[in-house]
Amino acid sequence: MDELGRMSVDEFRQAEKNPVMVVLDNIRSMHNVGSVFRTADAFLAEGICLCGYTPQPPHRDIHKTALGATETVDWLYFPTTMEAVTTLKQRGYQLFAIEQAEGSISLEKFTLPNQKIALIFGNEVEGVDSEVLKLCDGCIEIPQLGMKHSLNISVAAGIVLWEMVRGRISNNEC
């Protein structure tokens, strides 16, 4: 780790985070949850909200893909996604569902707002809950060229979180 120039857990906790909160809306797979933790760590996300029946650490299946990121990334549990997004909205976050919906903004055209944002990733089968969508400031859609037009949630989280921090990295803000 020293040769790679990686932070210690304490240095990570002290590091300035990107003003991005990830919300997981009733995710079924522990491996997906672990992967999102690992991605949130990689891009210094502010934290993760685990909602509904989304699995919570500690669990060996989450740990298997998180590889320790459950120890570095802050997380909160909410019994419902509605409670999470209501709380985040009260704390000044702009809410964006990652969803194919009428009026969604294609990811490459999305302009990062000058305030903190929360990205809501929905259930592997049902997507983001329709009641949650009503509270969102918008929807972001990942352009897809193939036949499936859906991505695994952990892949979608990687793509979107990268785009949220890419501009800061290229401007040496991170």
- Decide if 4 is inside a domain: no
pLDDT tens track for 58-86:
999 999 999 999 999 999 999 999 999 99
- Give the pair of three-digit tokens for residue 139: 């929807």
- Decide if 39 is inside a domain: yes
Q: Is it the case that residue 174 has pLDDT exceeding 60?
A: no
Looking at residue 63, which CATH number applies to its domain? 3.40.1280.10
The answer for 78, left when phi > 0, alpha when psi is -120 to 50, beta otherwise, is beta
- Give the pair of three-digit tokens for residue 12: 């990570």
- Decide if 150 is inside a domain: yes
Q: Is it the case that residue 40 has pLDDT exceeding 60?
A: yes
pLDDT band at 3 (very low <50, low <70, confident <90, very high): low
Mean pLDDT over 118-144 rounds to 97
Q: Based on the structure, what is the number of domains in the chain?
A: 1
**Average per-residue pLDDT for the chain:** 93
- Decide if 2 is inside a domain: no
- Decide if 123 is inside a domain: yes
pLDDT tens track for 26-37:
999 999 999 999
pLDDT of residue 10: 87
Whole-model pTM: value is 0.93
> H-type helices in 43-72, by residue range?
60-66
pLDDT of residue 13: 84
- Decide if 63 is inside a domain: yes
**Whole-angstrom distance, CA of residue 142 vs CA of residue 108:** 8
- Decide if 40 is inside a domain: yes
pLDDT of residue 32: 98
Q: Is it the case that residue 126 has pLDDT exceeding 80?
A: yes
Provide, rounded to the nearest whole percent, the portion of the chain with pLDDT above 90.
82
Q: Is it the case that residue 125 has pLDDT exceeding 70?
A: yes
**Whole-angstrom distance, CA of residue 20 vs CA of residue 147:** 30
- Give the pair of three-digit tokens for residue 112: 């990062």
Q: Which domain holds residue 160?
A: 9-169
